[in-house]
Amino acid sequence: MKALWTLLLASSLSGMAAAQTGAYGAIAMNKNNGHFGWSVGQVSSQAAEQVALQNCSGPCNPMVWWAHGCGALVRGGNRSYATGIAPSRSAAERQALGRCPAGPCVVVLSRCSGNAR
């Protein structure tokens, strides 16, 4: 019986550690002035968005959040912006560039959370 309790406790602690690894990230932006804020290493999408908003100057809005992956923000012509999320930084950047509505488009930010690269 003691072995069963030990196994259950170990499983429970393992699950808690996974939840606390900080796998979430987010990007927030003020489209009026182009300022942005970001976060990685957060324990939930809500926490990631909140930290990104706190790191953004002015009235900002959440643009994108992700878990166990990467997010990217690109700026295009006519003050346009697009985002992408993917398992890797390069894939998130490609996705955001592909969504950019007006060129020329450039990556202004890309970040990863968890063990994504």
Tell me the per-residue pLDDT of 46-66, one tens digit each, with 9 for 90 and over: 999 999 999 999 899 999 999
Q: What DSSP letter does each residue of 1-69 carry, written as one string?
A: -HHHHHHHHHHHHHHHHHHTS--EEEEEE-TTT--EEEEEEESSHHHHHHHHHHTS-SS-EEEEEEESS
Burial of 83-113, coded b for 16+ CB within 10 Å and e otherwise, reads bbbbeebebbbebbbebbeeeebebebbbbb
What is the pLDDT, as a whole number, of residue 87? 96
Does residue 74 surpass a pLDDT of 90?
yes
Question: Domain segments of the chain: what residues?
Answer: 20-112
pTM assigned to the model: 0.80
Output the six-digit token pair for 106: 């450039």
